[in-house]
Amino acid sequence: MADRPDDPTPPTPAPPGPADGQGATVAERQTAKTKPPALYQVVMLNDDFTPMEFVIRVLQQFFHHDLETATLIMLKIHHEGRGVCGVYTKDVAATKVELVLAAARRDQHPLQCIMEAA
């Protein structure tokens, strides 16, 4: 035993820790790349039977247009055969179309309302 000298190997240094900034893991934040939802136009179609006053009332009630805007849209429907009532996401547009059609049926008007991609 005396033949073997003590092995004075220097102690291994401790691995770097967060205190010295080395070895720390940095997670990069990735921005979510979500697309905006598709939009749809709600369009009313002209007919020769639905009263203009009913169209204005529907535009005010379901699309929240003021009297002046509702009148302008109604005149566009009357003169051009169709008019855009609003632009919404798919579910909202479908709901608006159903509300208009239900109101027209209830009052026995043949008013037609559709939705199409904006």
Which pLDDT score, from 0 to 100, does residue 61 have? 98
Q: How far apart are CA 37 and CA 113, in angstroms?
A: 22
Q: Give the sheet arrangement for strand 39-45, strand by strand.
A: 82-89, 39-45, 112-117
- Predicted confidence (pLDDT) at residue 41 exceeds the cutoff of 60: yes
Average the pLDDT over 46-75 and give the result.
98
**Residue 28 has which token pair?**
């990069």
Which pLDDT score, from 0 to 100, does residue 20 have? 60
Which pLDDT score, from 0 to 100, does residue 22 have? 67
Q: Where are the beta strands (DSSP E) in the chain?
A: 39-45, 82-89, 112-117
Average the pLDDT over 8-30 and give the result.
66
Give whichever of 17-21, 34-38, 99-103 has the largest mean pLDDT: 99-103
**Residue 43 has which token pair?**
């369009």
